[in-house]
Structure 1
Amino acid sequence: MNSMLETSEAAWLLLKEELRAQAFSLGVDKLGFASAEPFSQLKDVLVRHRQKGYESGFEEPDLDKRTDPSLTLATARSIISIAVAYPSKLKSPPRSEPGAYRGMLSRSAWGQDYHHVLRDRLKRVEDWLKTRVPEALIVSMVDTGVLVDRAVAERAGIGWVGRNCSVITPEWGSWVYLGELVTNIPFSPDTPVLDSCGDCTICIDACPTSALVGHGQLNAQRCISYVTQTKGMIEDDELKRKIGNRLYGCDTCQIVCPKNKGIHADHHPELTPDPELVKPLLRPLLQMTNREFKERFGSSAAAWRGKKPIQRNAVLALGNFRDVDSVPDLVRLLKTDERPEIRGSAAWSLGQIGGDAAKGALREALRRETDEALRRELKKALVRLGEMDEADKDGNDRGNTGGHHSV
């Protein structure tokens, strides 16, 4: 192709259609084009979102960078949005059963880390463009980039942002990963897809914690997917219960979406899940070393926060299962683990399971524990098991013995 300055609008249109035709061979399931104009309306939404305390804290903090593509590339003329479909079903999933309960990783953590897969696809698109327009400037990003992937994808006609806050494509539902390339190539924009959610509120009604607070609006602080990725103690007992057996992420609002019914993409080998990895036995996770965690989960998107959140969530899952067989494991964590969030989670789960061994371990831990947040967890667990009354919990705990009970 000639110099960019000499290239006609018709030539850019031809290049655009050639790229679209090549998308699947480049490993991209859908490709769309958007203008690089600022996302002014989005910025207003993000400001209100922040004021209400709905942010997760994982986002780019600079709202101008999130909404103005020219701050990523000063000469930006257009944005190419890509979507790569991922699997929604497990082949021969292992069963969770008494004595061998299992946790679950969300579909976004199935197969290889999607950040690596998307970067590979973006690189393929970038290389293809550079062979045709050598002087083109291109900045690609996925998830951890500054722009809001969903807003770019919606503007580029990939799909619409549904009430579940996911981009829903007509072809693949919301089971897609998104990425984008900001470029100085003046591609003409595609037409956005019309919102097809209609009056449906199934996702909002199904959300375990009512985190979906409006069309395309999410209170991340209440979202189970976010909560599973936090470090530290989960203070809210309702959130502990609502996590269920989720070790990383939450798919509820996507699973119930009618637009996702019957959709399963299994044509990208890198994204094919190992059933034993994405639905692992819980108890072996409790004693996993850092090295074992990296060997087992290192290639998954679930590994980015390290092993601590996954181990904490496994502890909570055993409590939610009321797994009596796990009591010795939980007692050991309560006695010996150096991490307060693990000890606190073990206390909560022992309070859910109950039994003499659990009660004894909780009373013993209360006598020696000095961490105030942990002491609250221990007292709540003892109250739940009838080993302490509310007056003792809120006031004097009688020499840290749990009232008149003895070990």
Structure 2
Amino acid sequence: MSADLKARLAAQARAEGLAKMGVCRPDAIPEAPARLAAFVDKGRHGQMHWMAERMGWRGNPAELWPEARSIILVAEPYTHEHDPLAVLGRPDRGAISVYAQNRDYHDVLKKRLKRVGRWLLDQAPGHQIKVFVDTAPVMEKPLAQAAGLGWQGKHTNLLGRDLGNWFFLGVIFTTLDLPPDDPEEPHCGRCTACLDACPTGAFPAPFQLDARRCISYLTIEHKGPVDADLRPALGNRIYGCDDCLGVCPWNKFAVAAREAKYKARPDLIEPPLAELAALDDAAFRMRFSGSPIKRIGRGRFVRNVCYAIGNSGDPSLASAVQALAQDADPVVADAARWAVVRLRTG
């Protein structure tokens, strides 16, 4: 019965637009607690203090919900239709990570997961589920590898032979006892394309990340000024970074996105930096309504835009940041002054 239910569940997940589903046990990642502890002990989590909190739950899903018997992992593609790295050759434009070029995936994927979950509960009355999309201390990537969806590559992101690495992960904990899938083995071989592509050297070793040097972390999670020695390496990346994902050879097998809400908005593919620098708080909120970019706030976003303008080498953009040198946000003001000086001195 459980095997049949799992097969029908996978079919239901596909009917909802999800590309792949796998199942593992709550105790499927016994190596996770030690890896997490080493990551935090070395300070590689930076300002993401939430990673150090409730480490027991994060490292051991069985502690998060002891009643759970199975963990269901799903993959939802957000594969792009344009070259995500082409914008890096246009220094007067801002580079926004592909995943953030339209609607916030947290909302879109969670609604889909809840529909799948309700279907499951209808088939198995008396059981319970918990649905997570980056909303709980859950280590989705190692769990997804344990469930056979793919493996954590040398860039620490999940990729699959039949998925590439442009996909989101969703998690359903359940009290149902479903047959687990076989874990996936790494298939990176000798390839180091992702490591070589990193502009800031954020990978101390293959399969290891130091978030403090990661552009995605620096432009999204990091509060306050970015270290001066890292600012030039940001280039024109103003929200996230796709470099290590974009060069992965396994992307030739990437699955097309089926969700229209992930289709890139034209105004977010290569937005003019001068236009973004002029955003006040109200304009920022309006422009990024429904976008994951909204959550970092106008201050952090315009800070990133100022760094990008400073890196542009285009003196005509100086006027876009000169007024911001007196911005009410001291971090924005600092970034603007840095940009002006950098444009003057090259």
TM-score (norm 2): 0.93
Counterpart CA distance in 1 for 2:140 and 2:67 is 20
Partner secondary structure for residue 306 of structure 1: helix
| Structure 2 residue 30 is matched with structure 1 residue 20 | no
Given candidates 274, 278, 281, the residue that maps to 1:283 is 274
The aligned amino acid for 2:201 is S
In 2, the alpha carbon distance for the partners of 1:194 and 1:293 equals 43
1:83 to 72, 75, 83: 75
Change (3 A) 1:16 1:300: same
1:62 is matched with: 54
Alignment match of 1:166 (pick from 130, 133, 157): 157
Q: C-alpha offsets along residues 47-100 of structure 1, whole Å, 9 cap, x if unaligned?
A: 1111111114434422101022233322111100011001233399997999x9
**SS of residue in 2 equivalent to 1:84:** strand
> Structure 1: which amino acid aligns with 2:24?
A
- Residue 183 to residue 95, structure 1, CA distance change in 2 (3 Å): closer
Match of 2:24 among 9, 30, 34: 34
The aligned counterpart of 1:348 is: 338
Following superposition, the deviation at residue 245 of structure 1 comes to: 0.6
Q: Structure 1 residues 263 and 13, CA, compared in 2 at 3 Å: closer, same or farther?
A: closer
Q: Which residue of 2 aligns with 1:235?
A: 227
Matches for 1:69-108 after TM superposition, within 5 Å: 69-90=61-82, 101-108=92-99
Quick one: which amino acid aligns to residue 158 of structure 2? V
> Is the contact made by 2:85 and 2:242 (CA closer than 8 Å) also made in structure 1?
no
Q: CA deviation at 1:262?
A: 6.4
Task: Give the TM-score taking structure 1 as reference length.
Answer: 0.80
Contact 1:152 1:180 in 2 (8 A): no
How has the CA–CA distance of structure 1 residues 288 and 128 changed in structure 2, closer, same or farther, with 3 Å as cutoff? same
Distance 1:184 1:264 in 2: 31
Alignment of 1:6-405 (within 5 A): 11-37=1-27, 39-58=29-48, 59-60=50-51, 61-90=53-82, 101-229=92-220, 230-237=222-229, 239-261=230-252, 263=254, 265-334=256-325, 336-354=326-344
Could you tell me which runs of 5 or more consecutive residues in structure 2 were left unpaired when the two chains were aligned.
Answer: none
User: How many residues align structurally?
Assistant: 343
For the 8 Å contact 1:69–1:182, the answer to whether it is kept is no
Aligned AA (1:64): G
The one of the two structures with greater contact order (alpha-carbon pairs below 8 A, sep at least 6) is: 2
Counterpart-to-counterpart distance in 2, 1:212 and 1:223: 8
Q: Which AA in structure 1 matches 2:343? A: I
Amino acid at match of 1:13: A
SS in 1 for 2:204: strand
RMSD after superposition: 2.2
Cα deviation, 1:158-211, whole Å, max 9, x if unaligned, reads: 001100111111222110100111111001110012210011111111111111
Q: Alpha-carbon deviation of 1:289?
A: 2.1
Q: Which digits, 9 at most, give the CA deviation of each residue in 1:20-44, with x for residues without a partner?
A: 1222112211100001116331100
CA contact (8 A) 1:94 1:275 kept: no
Q: Contact 2:85/2:246 (CA < 8 Å) preserved in 1? A: no
CA contact (8 A) 2:199 2:233 kept: yes
Inter-partner Cα distance in structure 1 for 2:47 and 2:5: 39
- CA separation of 1:247 and 1:171: change in aligned 2, threshold 3 A: same
Distance 2:88 2:28 in 1: 48
Runs of 4+ in 1 over 6 A off after TM superposition: 91-98
- Conserved in 2, the CA contact under 8 Å of 1:248 and 1:310? yes
1:329 Cα deviation after fit: 2.6
> Structure 2 CA distance, aligned partners of 1:115 and 1:67?
22
In 2 relative to 1, CA 45–95 (structure 1 residues): closer, same or farther, beyond 3 Å? closer
1:136 counterpart letter in structure 2: H
Judged with a 3 Å threshold, the aligned counterparts in structure 2 of structure 1 residues 201 and 147 are, in CA distance, closer, same or farther, namely same
Write the deviation string for residues 366-391 of structure 1: whole angstroms up to 9, x where unpaired. xxxxxxxxxxxxxxxxxx58xxxxxx
How far apart, CA to CA, are the structure 1 residues paired with 2:203 and 2:88?
A: 29
Q: Max radius of gyration: which structure?
A: 1
Residues of 1 paired with 2:157 and 2:85: CA distance? 25
- Partner of 1:373 in structure 2? none
Is the alpha carbon distance of 1:193 and 1:62 closer, same or farther for their aligned partners in structure 2, counting shifts above 3 Å? same
**Structure 1 residues 22 and 97: alpha-carbon distance in aligned structure 2, compared to 1, 3 A threshold:** closer
8 Å Cα contact 2:17/2:258 also seen in 1: no
Change (3 A) 1:279 1:199: same
Distance 1:91 1:330 in 2: 28
CA distance in 2 between partners of 1:264 and 1:251 (Å): 17
Task: Give yes or no for contact 2:162–2:255 (8 Å, CA) kept in 1.
Answer: no
Preserved CA contact (<8 Å) 1:93 1:275: no
Q: Aligned with 1:181: secondary structure?
A: strand
